[in-house]
Amino acid sequence: MSVERFTAKKFEDALKEAFPTKGQVRYLGLVKGEHCFFVVCDTKVGVYIRSSVKRSGVSAETGEDSIRMMLVHDWQCDPYELYRNTMGKADTYTTRTRGWERRMADKIKMLIDWRRVAGDCPKCKKPLKIATVRKETPNKGRKFATCFDCNTGFVWLTEAK
């Protein structure tokens, strides 16, 4: 399949169609040479999106630059600092092949659901970080959320509905 090319405007329109609530989609500008956006989940957390649209205003020509999405906390910080605020392994990507708009929206909704199920640490009130079970157990590969600072608030993310 061939890679679709699009403009920052088309990308933003696809986000706003999927998330029509006023103010939920925010344009962050150029971050490290790429147009970036943000979808607000709640007052603490949102989905940071790197569009693959370069400084030229058009997405990259090759398939190596996918649309990347990740849950971040403290989303009101400087966009260059957002990578430091990732919520563990709560990230995904979408290839820029036909139908990317729907796949991207579905994955953003999945990340928002993870946040909703994870919630905040009952002790320190910070957003719970997301991780994946790595040990050789029946739960290997399963996602969970917990507070790595307080070691409390454990919840399986597969319970997201």
For the segment 32-91, what is each residue's pLDDT rounded down to a tens digit? 889 999 999 988 888 999 999 998 888 887 766 789 999 888 766 666 666 666 777 778
pTM for this prediction: 0.86
Q: Delimit the domains of the chain by residue range.
A: 8-117
In SS3 terms, the chain reads as CCCCCCEHHHHHHHHHHHCCCCCCEEEEEEECCEEEEEEECCCCEEEEEEEEEECCCEECCCCCCCEEEEEEECCCCCHHHHHHHEEEEEEEEECCCCCHHHHHHHHHHHHHHHHHHHCECCCCCCECEEEECCCCCCCCCCEEEEECCCCEEEEEHHHCC
